[in-house]
Homo-oligomer: A and B are copies of this chain.
């Protein structure tokens, strides 16, 4: 028998908690720690004492936060804490302060996805070396518990794939485009007015935020370090109202997905817009909500749904990590944390295997479909279905067609047929070569769009 350690030797004095940063999330975390201290002490097993909050300007007042707690000396604060909560964001000085805390054996809780996605290996190795907790539930999908379920609840299972809607802004944009029939630019403008989107929406719209989360999810699910630089990334900037409408008419919803998957060859992570079948649980994720869909060998499909951003939801995830870190310290050990024991190869972007929907305009002549199908066959891409747009409703036809690509030859007098081809699973590289060859095919007037299909 391995007997549990003697409970009387456990530490019961207050655990000293330091906050680094006091923005929207930091303020909420401070309120939570200060206002619910009795409840948190009961759950953690000891009082959690806020020893200070490091800010850039300690003279500026924060509502509900005692001025005496504010300090500009982050290093001294780190050195005085058992648990360091980093909510500054960005790379520096967050990175240096976290490493300093870990080296001292303090437990660290962070919501900093950018730092984890770029510097994860360094941070996790430092945590391993110091045998200290490094928790990051709030960094992946805000309030949604995903780190703990994947790491602990699925510890006896094998994750095969993760499909995540992890960026609320782009989900809101695509949802509005779908339900209101609006153009991307108009929705982004409205999202900015509502405060859902930043003045510079690049991080969201071009998929950088989702790519950081994809890297963290892939590392977590496959026990392998994956950095943001290894994530293939494509945003939603090029998505048109036509794309959204065609998705609907062919039984799909357009979502920006962060995908992490394991194949026989290794693991891969990518972010791109994808067609998701309307009856897939991810299709029902509306507005700015997030969801992470996990396919595991034993458990089968699982989905975790909730708010992916916002001060209070993010603070909830941070506080959960703080309580866990405190409990781990009290039982005298560190919690099981992300370990890269599997170290699987991380695959290049063009190794991804998925289905595609290609929309194209061709000259409406006999034999064209055979020519197109021939190009796909030559590249080993197998066709699932081909539809002619004419089979859809006339209402759609009345809408203006997309602009032809620059340089596209268009004979205004010649009748044009629109084709929608859905493929079976094919390698990204084969599809790219196929599209390139289709573009060169004489009767092809335009490749209107190429979208991946996921969740089938």
Contacts and interface: CB of A to CB of B under 8 A. Distances in A.
A11 B2 CA distance: 7
B157 A152 contact: no
Interface stretch (A213-221, A322-330, A356-364, A431-439): A322-330
A176 interface: no
Nearest to A316: B298
Contacts of A155: 40, 43-44, 319-320, 323-324
Interface stretch (A49-57, A143-151, A382-390, A448-456): A143-151
B143 A298 contact: yes
Contacts of A82: 1-2
Contacts of A331: 328, 331-334
Given A156-B32, A318-B156, A320-B153, A5 B332 contact: yes
Q: Copies per complex?
A: 2
A445 to B, nearest CB: 40
Nearest to A155: B323
A40 B154 CA distance: 11
B296 A300 contact: no
A49 to B, nearest CB: 13
A149 B156 contact: no
A330 B2 contact: yes
Contacts of A154: 145, 316, 320
A131 to B, nearest CB: 5
Contacts of A195: none
Interface of A: 1-5, 7, 10-11, 15, 28, 32, 36, 39-40, 42-45, 82, 104-106, 131-132, 137, 143-145, 148-149, 152-158, 223, 279, 281, 284, 286, 296-307, 310, 312-313, 315-324, 327-334, 336, 339, 341-342
